[in-house]
Amino acid sequence: MNIIQLFSLLDIKTDQILAFGAEDYVRIEKKINFEKKINPEIEANTGQNLIIALKNYKEELLFVASNHILFSFFTHDNHFSKKHFSDYKQTVSDEKMKEFIALFLAADLISFFSFKLSKGWLHDLEDLDLLLTLKRYFPEEIIYKMGSLLYSKLDFAISQLTASITNDFSNIEYIKYGTFYDLLSHFTTFELDRKIVVLLNLVSEHYTKRTDTIFFSSVLKSMASYKAYIEEISKLLIESREILMKPKKTHENKKTEENTKIDLVIKIMLAILFLMIVLYKLK
């Protein structure tokens, strides 16, 4: 249990935090000791850390407790409506928030992030995308670890498509969600662009082979959500989506539709070849 979960369990009023004094800390400490007797999940250092946070990091604690994204993430509780939160932002510096998170929430931030990412469900990816809109408050080491976890998720999808001998892609279903590419866009680099081009090449090959046309069509459309480091890659991804989403004309026969799809794949392959050359020269 982290200090935000304990804060929620104790039902401490957020609008009173800034005015807390010595008597309040004694009262809260007594409540913590009582809860520890009936709740084995509360570790000794969690209670101590909450008291330290209340004394020395009032504004930072108030910021987390008042922000629906951070509070929901750290408590695993999405039942509160946004109206419940005031999104307190006054006088909280980015650096002081980084210090606060590093001291009290770093381990949970990474473990919760990793857990949600490992499941790969759409609503979990959406939660993580919201969380990353606040990454300016996270220490650099945490941001680096989050990026590494996402890179590994992309690498896994590439390895599965490279070695695929079946039509079962349930273990990489997350690549069909635009939100996955929104997440990657928070960590855009030259190296990530290169990986996206590799993925695009593999997806195009599977699309051509008609391994699973519906799945890979969805992937091609969703990849347009990626905000590339190299602008030409973003343009290619968007153009691919627009061609696939172009409504079929009533008089267009099936053969014409197939030719359009083949033209798309050829265009993608040529563009990938060009981008590979560019990426190689920029190494």
pLDDT along the chain (283 residues), means of 10: 95 90 94 93 93 96 92 83 54 91 97 97 96 96 98 96 84 97 96 91 83 85 93 86 68 55 62 63 59
pLDDT reported for residue 177: 98
The amino acid present at 260, given as its one-letter code, is T
- Residue 194 tokens read as 């290169």
In whole angstroms, what is the distance from residue 94 CA to residue 11 CA? 27
Give the per-residue pLDDT at 281.
59
The reported pLDDT for the residue numbered 242 is 80
The per-residue pLDDT for 201 is: 86
Q: How far apart are CA 167 and CA 163, in angstroms?
A: 12
Of the candidates 12, 178, 37, 4, the one whose C-alpha atom is nearest the C-alpha of residue 108 is 4
pLDDT at 257: 55
First to last CA, the chain: 45
- pLDDT (0 to 100) of residue 140: 97
Residue 155 structure tokens: 């690498």
Domain ranges of the chain: 1-104, 106-283
Measured CA to CA, the distance from residue 113 to residue 245 in angstroms comes to 33
Distance CA 246, CA 253 (A): 15
Q: Quick one: pLDDT at residue 78? A: 67
What residue type is assigned to position 183 of the chain?
A: L
Confidence (pLDDT) at 172: 96
Query: In whole angstroms, what is the distance from residue 95 CA to residue 98 CA?
Result: 5
pLDDT of res. 253 = 55
For position 27, what pLDDT does the model report? Answer: 95
